[in-house]
Chains A and B, each alone.
Chain A
Amino acid sequence: VVAVTPAAAETVLRLDEVAVGELDPGKATDYADSILMFNIYDTLVLAAQGGPGVVPHLAESWETDGKTYTFKLRSDVKFQSGNPLTAEDVVFSLDRMKALGQGLSYLFANVEKAEAVDPATVRFTLTSPYSPFLSALLRLPIVDKKLVSENLGAGDGDMKDWGQGYLSTHAAGSGAYKVVSHNPQEETVMARNADYFLGVPAKAPDTVRLRYGLEAATVRTLIAQGEHDITSQWLPPEVLKALAAGGAQLLVETGGSGFYIKMNTTRKPLDDLNCRLALTYAFDYAAGVKMVAITDEVSQGSPASGPLPAGMLGALPASEAYARDLDKAKEYLAQCKYKPEDFTLELSWVGEVPLEERYALLMQANFTELGIKSEVRKIPWALFSEQVTKPENTPNISQVFVNAVTGDPDTLIYGMYHSSAAGTWQSPEYLKDAKVDELLDRGRTETSDEQRAATYTEAGKRLKELAPTIFAYDQNAVFAASKRVSVPALTDRSKAFGLTGMAFTFRLMEMNE
């Protein structure tokens, strides 16, 4: 008797994200966008598994002198349209990214030009040496130039709209999955690309449904009823707890991001270092971490040692993590030039992230013990990102989750602390410190990993002295998943990618049915 192979039973992977996935790879920024991008498109390099760094992907090999990078491309890659992938497409993809100026295009701000040396060779020229460039390429998905050119929408200039209209609903990639349908309010349905140049393993899902905007309670029930496979990482810890208790597996992604409580250093009273230090010591780190604990082993947060999460290049050792110390806090407060009775802190939290409300309340309670009054303010994201553009409008305290978009420390803390980057949602501290600036700039140009690690460690220390931020915890993305699916990249440390989101490469997942 031959075992009945489920030839007809196609496997479906169902997962969800809170935000709507952006199909246009030139505009991708957040987690949902990344999931789409990593599966529909390919990049020249891939993040290494089990440690930092990158490995070849579309590019077989590369050479660099710090300012120019030359890549040799594989010749066996075809787009889903059937068009071959060539150096022209790489150039086009970079040009498009820069022309749109959206998403993560800032990562390529210092790329002067890209040129196709021959169909299989592409050369990038930077304006100045920029060592994180290779990891930035993780964010340069290669777009099918021919297909896009055939589908240009209305617009000015040669490239009209650069295919924005087309790419917001269609794919033009070479990735392992094709887009079947895309409804921004419902789901994006993807199916495996049989012609993928690396092949798609048989155990990988045939169809993937990435659902958007499901309520936590809905996801919880769908999983319990066996109608969903992987949750987003944004579920409240209680829900994850309930799911785990119900037999779901917990998938964890670490090392890419942190939860930061940011203090506006330009306004009374947090322009005073002592005041900031007082708050730094008043915050109850243990309670904060406990709040997001899910099981004894798994938590959405682990104690932070500094600005860089553990495991990232240049992260401070775990022993340097903060703990609450009320006496110290009182000491610092006594030295502060403002008296607690003279001010009221605005503790803001972003409306879209309900968890932050609890931290606001925790802080409020913690600070009250120092005699500091505060009021909690919920701000929708749109308003928040608007307010932080002016120091005087920026709340005293803001809470943000920041991740390293390329896995490189530069992309995590340059945008947060370099004085030239002040006034974005990442940098509501408005930190202006020459030493920090100098260290961050140096980190960009040094080429050896050891040197860079030392530089970032030093930057971390300096930042802790300046205390612009309460480093609440290193964020771990925790996903609850049904037993139907295995995600080695999220369960096996040695297979973990050094870039958040890349673990959701569907072709590396396994359906167990």
Chain B
Amino acid sequence: MSAPTLLIRDLKLGFRSYAGMLEVLHGISLHIAKGERVALVGESGSGKSVTARIVLGLIQSLRSARVSGLVEFEGRDLAKLSERERHALRGTRMSMIFQDPTSSLNPVYTIATQFHEVLLRGSPGISQAEARRRAVAALDDVAISEPERVLDSYPFQLSGGMNQRVMIAMALANEPSLLIADEPGTALDVTVQAQTLTLMRDLTERHHTAVLFISHNLGVVREFADRLYVIYKGRIVEQGPTAALFDDPRHPYTRALLQAVPRITGGGIPEIEDASEAYFAPLVVREGFGEPGRAG
């Protein structure tokens, strides 16, 4: 079996600050196989976004950050790659979708300009006309009905849902093998968010893209991911296939999390602790779903 698209082992992250070292990640491990959709769930501030940014190599360049542990992309240790090689992966082999589509697109350039820029990453020297042609096709893919008009628009002239689709189209334009989605669409309407998820699901399935899907919304995760990791204050507390984990949460934190979600079937609001010692209980590993390279 080939190497997983993404492999993270014992990743630690700390930020230096005037108050001393602030440990954010306490050694997390996860992996994503080719074409797999994996979710990372946890409360706000638990370290989801920083994990994603480490994968992209954005944190490493911060002077205040201290990163240790292994991050392998398609079998290559990112730490061993030169800055140049790491750079070359971004936007080509891996790309990212952000939470708020409208503020993630540059406000002063048209979609066409930005799309061109993105395509240049995958196909250096691509002409404007060719880029436009490909952009139109990509926008068609994400079910945008008037791609030409959208291309000539500025982000603020489009609805959040449209921008979201543009972002997805851009992220997939260079056919990356890893797509990171950091809470995509939580800034949008419920209905738009639902459409976005369906769309992303279809597209990644079609392109066999591996996805790291970050969210704090368990409902969304359940609809999207094959497998999920639950993270609590910088530690992975439980992982496993989506259905299994939702049916049979084993870690106290996962259980609390699931319980706390109000049900549309009713049943009132349960009494749950929002913080508890029990949540620091050790990682729950399911049989057959251990991290590669580790016993299990």
Q: Do chains A and B touch in the complex (CB under 8 A)?
A: no
